[in-house]
Amino acid sequence: MSSYRLSDRARADLQRVIYQSIDLFGANQAIRYREQLRYRFQLLAENPRLGRLAPRAGKDVRRHEHAAHVIFYRATEDGVLILGVVHARRMRGLRF
């Protein structure tokens, strides 16, 4: 079974997204959104070519949009490495 791993940056990004979601939408919605993101991570692990190439973000980096965020990742031998989870409005100049 394919799996996903989170980089340190992705882990910090995910934590920030959850805290901001709690502040804006409440704990229940934040938990639902976290689960949706985790589902997307697994979907990408099982289908690593699902996202588009994002050459401006780095070599072999792909991107996949989910709601207001963009998931950046790189395919690995056993799935994907999630590089970052970035709000769509904060993507200028990203490099992984």
Tell me which CATH homologous superfamily contains domain 3-90.
RelE-like (3.30.2310.20)
**Greatest C-alpha distance within the chain:** 37
In the chain, the amino acid numbered 10 is A
What are the φ/ψ torsions at residue 47 (nearest 5 degrees)? -140, 70
Is residue 52 within 8 Å of 63, Cβ to Cβ? yes
Q: What residue ranges do the domains of the chain occupy?
A: 3-90
pLDDT in tens, 10-25: 999 999 999 999 999 9
Is residue 8 within 8 Å of 14, Cβ to Cβ? no
pLDDT in tens, 67-85: 999 999 999 999 999 999 9
Instruction: Collapse the DSSP code of 16 into the 3-class scheme (helix H, G, I; strand E, B; otherwise coil) and give the result.
Output: helix
